[in-house]
Structure 1
């Protein structure tokens, strides 16, 4: 089977998925086109223009299936490249723009919302990486359609629901590592998310400051990827928690990073935006106990004992709740109790490959 794979905004999480997908199906003939994850607004609306007139020969090479991410301007691309018009399309939603919290620097725009909607409508099949992602997409589409003034077809939601399903981004087989139990009495916490506002680092900072004030021994490893605009909570954290900080900054070495996960006790999330939470899942696969909020995709991933109550509108109350959860874990470890992570082998490529294969075959009609 000849497959064209398009990743229009090839962020790390998108690379993670597409490389895993290509690697899982070496029997297929893959052609992959990507665009770098920068200039978000232009990339979202301009990828069709870029590809249609700079990669026309590649796009017109004749394919049995087109797989694209939701960032792809699919309807425009199919219109500008006639050879793609009849190719069946499987679209994968890593996220949806209806549920993405806007930062102070971003202006609210309907453009990303319409692009998500048009791309989903132009695809034959649509997959979401979590139930949360799918539900918020449909809720957002419903709100958007109600705001439009006239001539809105009444069957849009039904059409989309009929051709969509949930299929997570699988974890690579090599992330399932044997736990290395830390011999100290100190709780080892890892925060391995992007250093951006939507991961709500100020909530983590507040919770850890409470732990420190209670004289709870802990060590925190803050090892996510940083960008040009880093939330001020990180610099404050490094200052006020200097004695408690272990590893700091992005770890280039995969082996070193995974070794840290193996040795840590807990992986922490305070996110107000996460459609699947790959960073948390990788840490759990390595043996970390998840400490995650009761929101986003986490309720569908982890049992209640791994989730702390969500107070999204009251960050201070949530920090108190989180600090209490971490304090209990610290006391349990100090008392010699083993902190056991949940089994998430069902989210690996070994388990999910047959489901991907079925969706590929069904969409391509082979």
Structure 2
């Protein structure tokens, strides 16, 4: 027997599911203990570095080196934990798959008797399903993969971190500034020099203030604020509201030398001929690398507001208004402008007096940072006989608490409503090479502070609200600048007790489509116009299907995936490098153009058959657009697939173009509501939307709306291919859905959107009720 064992070997002991689970659990316990140990060592080294500070720089740097090594070990430890967790999930899935597989074998035997023959169309459907599963598998593989390998520690980074640790207390004192009722007298002449040059924190640098400027400020009620950070103490002069020959507009009286790099382009411009306000160029906040502490943008932003706080607060607002409702928009463009205009029109139709104050839709980031300062000088004072404005409605673009601090009269408004078109915690970032963007969380802080100051917080969708509150506790609890110091104590309590109780969902108020206009009919009532539009849809019959894209031409709308499917349906063959290039940004303002080498039109057939579908590609475009748009246009024009391309100037022409389309498609990676989709469905388009973001809450659950949702690109291609092959059947469904949406048919027929999404479904009445209008 022993010889047989030596000859054939001893069978290996099989490892069971329970044995593997126990081994994984033991390994995880060991790694968790190591994680606790490393975190403890990191905290110890941080404490030592703070104690040594600048007194013993060599010892402090050594502590930070050790901390960096511990952090790398902790990163590797975390990676190992993630791998073990992935293996545990894979093990459980394998056991479940085995049980499922046994069942599927039995079912498969029965199905083989049913599906004996397969034609070409069924083979194509099977391949679509295979591609779909492959995409899902790729997504899972990408999710569980993690990069490994430590990077070398940079000596300069260690020095910067050491100085940041020693300056935390100074930064906190700088931000702890309280207002004063009376400004101190302005110093004139040379300030005294420092007593000791050895201590860097005691060295101060004052800019000189001329006697003429000092007398002018004293005479006209001007003032200044004192700011100190590290070794800099400076005077920030606040300009009063009148002109001065000695002090011309366009120059600051005095400036701390450390602010010169970002205030050099600051100018003062008059508003309403009386109220000067500071305006900065888009480059003002690009700091030199040597001033690394200014890159802490939250501190810099607070310093900026401190410097110019009294300017807007002391500005004399000359205009007045007798309106009872104040609508404020910090970025008056796109959907923001559309909502404000629709609300204003609805209120004025009810006889309400409305005051609208807005800022131009340029430089969104500057509107968020400085919008409150500009609006404080623009908003008129209320002389309403009923005690001033009763409602303030604004979007979450700028800082509402800053506006209320700059204009105390606005803080007394009984109802202050804040509307979230989007939230900055879940807004997707650009990832294409040099155009990639990094998270800038100061904008999320602006929205959090505005939400705390508002009486009612409104979100355009449940997805918008839930995604914001899901990420907010972790965002507020994150360490700054180093763990374990939280940004905000008890962030979960802040969200649950202060924010959520005063939050609700109020869908975007899409204006009703002017249906008598696009059908060129003299219909006397809206119902007759709806019926006429339904007949126009049916009359298209077997004509080529018209596919609509009416979104912004930007990276977050994911146009590359849309054109991938369109090229496949149009039988235009290009390689993947074509679409990779299409993800980059085209900047015509810098002379960037599409090179002939970027496109190979030789792949197009010399003789083109009649196109089975056509495209209407609309939407607003900025100066810089994804390169895929001009690249795709060249190919699609050659093949005769383009019906309309580009921005439509007038609102009437936009509605007419929508009314001529059959299907509206979205491939967006970011959508907090979907105004463009609702507009298209409102005039009879069939939606085809991804099963993500805010789209599922717009559509009716179950059939027929389940046919309008896709999860992968093969599914999207499959649905469009089916509709292109039988456009008459789709148009019959679209006509019935349009009639049902506007209550022109008996209940029970199919529709796409949920009740309450369109304005006539009680949504307009909800808005009027919000403003106290019957």
Q: TM-score, normalised by structure 1?
A: 0.90
Post-superposition offset of 1:304: 2.2
Segments of 5+ residues of structure 1 without an aligned counterpart are 310-317
Matches within 5 A, 1:147-186: 147-148=478-479, 149-150=485-486, 151-154=488-491, 155-158=493-496, 159-175=498-514, 177=530, 178-179=533-534, 180-181=536-537, 182-186=540-544
Match of 2:551 among 193, 205, 223: 193
Q: Residue 92 of structure 1 contacts residue 127 of structure 1 at CA under 8 Å; is this kept in 2? A: yes
Match of 2:360 among 13, 36, 40: 36
Q: Are positions 1:319 and 2:642 aligned together? A: no
Specify the alignment match of 2:667 in structure 1: 270
Specify the alignment match of 1:78 in structure 2: 404
Q: Deviation per CA, 1:238-294: give whole Å up to 9, x if none.
A: 122222111011111333322222221101111111111111111100000001110
Whole-angstrom CA distance in 2 between matches of 1:153 and 1:60: 42
Q: Residue 90 of structure 1 contacts residue 360 of structure 1 at CA under 8 Å; is this kept in 2? A: no
Q: Which structure shows the bigger proportion of residues in helix conformation? A: 2
Q: Residue 128 of structure 1 contacts residue 166 of structure 1 at CA under 8 Å; is this kept in 2? A: yes
Structure 1 203/175 Cα, relative in aligned 2: closer, same or farther at 3 Å?
A: farther
SS across alignment from 1:347? coil
Whole-angstrom CA distance in 2 between matches of 1:35 and 1:20: 17
Whole-angstrom CA distance in 2 between matches of 1:209 and 1:72: 41
Matches within 5 A, 1:1-366: 2-26=324-348, 27-52=351-376, 54-55=377-378, 57-58=380-381, 62-87=388-413, 88-104=415-431, 105=435, 106-148=437-479, 149-150=485-486, 151-154=488-491, 155-158=493-496, 159-175=498-514, 177=530, 178-179=533-534, 180-181=536-537, 182-213=540-571, 217-242=612-637, 243-302=640-699, 303-309=705-711, 318-333=712-727, 338-340=732-734, 341=737, 342=751, 344=753, 346-350=756-760, 351-361=762-772
Whole-angstrom CA distance in 2 between matches of 1:77 and 1:281: 33
Whole-angstrom CA distance in 2 between matches of 1:279 and 1:5: 23
SS across alignment from 2:418? strand
Post-superposition offset of 1:337: 6.1
Whole-angstrom CA distance in 2 between matches of 1:144 and 1:225: 32
Structure 1 56/248 Cα, relative in aligned 2: closer, same or farther at 3 Å?
A: closer
Whole-angstrom CA distance in 1 between matches of 2:675 and 2:513: 14
Between 254-263 and 163-172, report the one with greater CA deviation: 254-263
SS across alignment from 1:152? coil
Between 166-175 and 189-198, report the one with greater CA deviation: 166-175
Structure 1 254/357 Cα, relative in aligned 2: closer, same or farther at 3 Å?
A: closer
Structure 1 337/60 Cα, relative in aligned 2: closer, same or farther at 3 Å?
A: closer
Whole-angstrom CA distance in 1 between matches of 2:416 and 2:729: 55
Q: Residue 698 of structure 2 contacts residue 757 of structure 2 at CA under 8 Å; is this kept in 1? A: no
SS across alignment from 1:213? coil
Structure 1 253/40 Cα, relative in aligned 2: closer, same or farther at 3 Å?
A: closer
Post-superposition offset of 1:117: 0.7
Q: Deviation per CA, 1:110-169: give whole Å up to 9, x if none.
A: 111101111111100011011111111112212212214335244211111100100111
Q: Residue 24 of structure 1 contacts residue 349 of structure 1 at CA under 8 Å; is this kept in 2? A: no
Between 344-353 and 284-293, report the one with greater CA deviation: 344-353
CA RMSD of aligned residues (A): 2.3
Whole-angstrom CA distance in 1 between matches of 2:460 and 2:379: 30
Specify the alignment match of 2:233 in structure 1: none
Whole-angstrom CA distance in 2 between matches of 1:55 and 1:265: 45
Between 102-111 and 120-129, report the one with greater CA deviation: 102-111
Q: Residue 3 of structure 1 contacts residue 63 of structure 1 at CA under 8 Å; is this kept in 2? A: yes
Structure 1 131/238 Cα, relative in aligned 2: closer, same or farther at 3 Å?
A: same
State the aligned residue count: 354
Q: Deviation per CA, 1:32-88: give whole Å up to 9, x if none.
A: 111112212211010111122x22644797311111101131011111111112213
Segments of 5+ residues of structure 2 without an aligned counterpart are 1-322, 480-484, 516-529, 573-608, 700-704, 738-750
